[in-house]
Structure 1
Amino acid sequence: MHLQRKRPTIADVARAAGVSIGTVSNFINGTAGLRDDTRARIEKAVAALMYRPSSFARSLPGRGPRRPKNLDHLPRLLVAGRVSVDFLCRVDVLPHRDDRITASHIEKALGGPAANLAVAAAGVGSPYALDVELATAVGRDAESDWALGELSKLGVHALPIRSTPNNRLSQAIVIIERNGSRTIISEPFELGEVDLTANLDIQPEQRPACLHIEGFHYETMTASIERFHQAGWKVSLHSAGLPKSARAPETFANMVKQIDLTFINDVMMREIFGFRTGMATMIEEARLILSRIKQRGTVVITLGEFGAVVFPSGGGRQIEVPALPVNRVDATGAGDSFAGIFLSLWLHGASLDAAARYAAIGASLTTTVEGAQGYIADFATLKVTALAHDAVMAS
């Protein structure tokens, strides 16, 4: 009896090469640079299995447009982390257990800390435009297609390095109260233990270049931090999702030594160091702690409605910037926006003062509408808003 040989699939190639399906798809489509050893393993697996790409395999990572070539002259920002679909629910107050209430509306929006940051960085534009990429994980569902398309429209080139285990995009429910408070219920990001950049071929750049990491991925990407540094890249991090094991004074000290630019909010600083004091005293206590950490990077502590404070790597004077006095609607993603805007200026060589000032303005504007990406401020808007605020303060 003749048995027909089963046609090999992209999953078979990935399994034989010891990589993810997304990495094989990037190899097939040429949508991301891969390390030579990774490329060689995939080529060997393809030859051994006599694999021929299907139309699906050719389209898997290419559902968003390919990266435009005319961005090569701009500073490069590669963000590693989560993209999700957020369902925004507007209510008067958070319901109690067993309550049944009606939201004023429920809307779908693009979310995820890394995606929020990447979109904010790309949105600043001239004269601080960036070449922004997002190394992330998506599924094969309609929501993933939608997210990749939205990212592309917003100036972010997605690199779907990994496929999610359940083959669909991560989801979150964001409950927004009338006073602007929000409660976020998110699915676990199953790839938090995966280095999303492990198979990327990273070479020295003839332009400023930075890898930005979500806190979720800090522990799994320590090897890549060194690899990017050796290639001459900067590395930044924001504390969203920082693992519990990393929320300790000694671990924090080691982290800010490794990272060139760290963004952390005051709530997490209080958790790590057990601060129980008011804002001004907490800032002074943070300054003393950071002054004792030698050869650290720049640390930015975001303070919510009170703005932010920057502690330069060289140990110079701290820089305090205020937030704008705005009518807060939704604070979701304000810290992500702050970091993205800060990075856009920082990678162009702007001063820490300027980067922090405009980042605080942009983060404040983000809170005036619903959704982490509901208000994407370009530099012209940031500049006009800053001038208007200065005029009010001077009057």
Structure 2
Amino acid sequence: MSRKRPTIADVARSAGVSIGTVSNYINRTAVVRKDTEARIAKAISDLTYRPSALARSLPGLASKPDAETVSSLPRLLVTGYISVDYLCRVDVLPHRDDRTTAHHIEKALGGPAANVAVAAAGVGKPYGLDVQLATAVGDDPDSDWALAELSRRGVHALPIRRPFNNRLSRAIVIIEANGSRTIINEPFELSEVDLTSSLSVKSEPRPACLHIEGYHYERMIGSIDRFHEAGWKVSLHSTGLPQNARTPQSFKELISRVDLTFINDVMLREIFEIRTPLASMLQQVRDMLADVEKRGTVVLTLGELGAAVFADGSSRITEVPALAVNMVDATGAGDSFAGVFLSQWLHGASLEKAAQYAAMAASLTTTAEGAQGLVSTFSDLEAALSDSNLKASA
């Protein structure tokens, strides 16, 4: 009988530590105590742990900042979905009972929360962040691969629970020739208990933000309050927002509870039954928000038209354009927008500047296949701004 290949979870169990600690040790993304290092090293040796995916990724690893440098940066804790995405490129989505041959099928890291975290970490200096992803990973090789990929991209994974089937969640992304995509994903749930039982919620001496997916909003309401009490900001992007929260009253309660909300125009139109053209829609949204006594900032993403920002405590509408690009795949554009916006926002940039760079990053994301096929650095965004002849916002 063939022996099962050991995984990072096996190493963690043998060493008596968490999966995240083993990942930190392997990838040198955080300081690990000497005695813990010794236990992990022994477990790796005893189990002959050699993850091929990690080995392939090591030559491309950028030098990691030391722990003291990272701990001085603004902290972004993203919680939510990570998956292995299977990207299928076809000419057009097949009909029921049809069969089609894809141009290719590729494996990539995905999931809205993972996409946001990677985009935020990718911006780099002078908007570097200490980015962490609280998520669910299993004992399988795909989970090992995902942890290595996150580390390579500057994201520290915090595995706070195991998926129901003890393997990394999977998604199928069907991409058509015009860039449209259809996504089929598995169930993925995190609860407030998962988060608060795994992480201590305490005040930070630096800007800190908890970012939540719409999928988990209702189950994280208690955590939102606790993080606010500790002095953190809380942001949310609307991907997967449950139907219960998609009513005018529930949405107004959401934006009153959260400091920064990202929502796309399709969902906002659905919630408020808006059928008017863009210009009048923005006016309707402004009037609706004026009725909310106390709210956070709302960022409305408009796809190829850019974005509009409705700052808290203001009736002004700040519009920013997107870049004109040839779209290859729209997957993850909104996630990229949120990640880059957060990198600017946590460093104190103006909302207009944050939105401008975020809109450019989202546009650039669509020029490559996969949600993380193109991750923009700040120098990339500066170059795109220069090439577009747009004026940089203050």
- TM-score, normalised via structure 2 length: 0.83
Following TM superposition, by how much is the alpha carbon of 1:314 offset from its aligned partner in structure 2, in angstroms? 1.6
SS at match of 1:198: helix
Please say if 1:261 is aligned against 2:281: no
Give the corresponding residue for 1:216.
215
**Residues 329, 368 of structure 1: 8 Å contact kept:** yes
Provide closer, same or farther for how the CA distance between residues 318 and 179 of structure 1 changes in structure 2, counting only shifts above 3 A: same
User: What do residues 156-180 of structure 1 show as CA deviations (whole Å, max 9, x unaligned)?
Assistant: 0000000111000000000000001
Structure 2 CA distance, aligned partners of 1:109 and 1:150?
10
Residue 197 of structure 1 aligns to a residue in which SS?
A: helix
Give aligned-pair identity as a percent.
61
Residues 1:176 and 2:175 are matched in the alignment: yes
- Say if 1:132 and 1:391 are closer, same or farther in 2 by CA, change over 3 A: closer
* Aligned partner of 1:197 among 172, 195, 198: 195
Deviations 1:318-349 (A, max 9, x none): 11011111100100000000000000000000
Partner residue, 1:137: 136
Work out whether residues 80 and 196 of structure 1, in 8 Å CA contact, stay in contact via their aligned partners in 2: no
Q: Residue 281 of structure 2: SS of its match in structure 1?
A: helix
Q: Aligned equivalents of 1:127 and 1:337: distance in 2?
A: 18
Q: CA deviation at 1:202?
A: 1.5
Deviation, 1:260, is 0.4
1:36-47 aligned at under 5 Å gives the runs: none
Task: State the shift of 1:282 in Å.
Answer: 1.5
- The match for 1:152 is 151
Change beyond 3 A, Cα 1:30–1:198: farther
Does structure 1 retain, via aligned residues, the 8 Å contact 2:179–2:328?
yes
Q: Deviations over 1:268-318 (max 9, x none)?
A: 101111111222221111111011111100000101111100000021411
Distance in 1 separating the partners of 2:261 and 2:20: 35
CA contact (8 A) 2:84 2:171 kept: yes
Match of 2:33 in 1: none
8 Å Cα contact 1:209/1:233 also seen in 2 = yes
Distance 1:112 1:55, change over 3 A: same
Q: Is the 8 A contact 2:342 2:354 kept in 1?
A: yes
Look up the SS of the partner of 2:209 in the other structure: strand
* Matched pairs, number: 346
Tell me if structure 2 keeps the 8 A contact 1:195–1:217: no
Q: 1:331 maps to what in 2?
A: 330
Match of 1:116?
115
Aligned residue in 2 for 1:232:
231
CA distance in 1, matches of 2:146, 2:247: 35
Hey, what's the Cα distance between the residues in 2 that align with 1:137 and 1:185?
18
Partners of 2:21 and 2:390 in 1: CA distance: 52
State the alpha-carbon separation in 1 of the partners of residues 90 and 22 from structure 2: 46
Deviation at 1:196, TM superposition (A): 3.7
Query: 1:337·1:362 contact (CA, 8 Å) conserved in 2?
Result: yes
**Residue 94 of structure 1 aligns with which residue?**
93
In the alignment, what sits opposite 1:373? 372
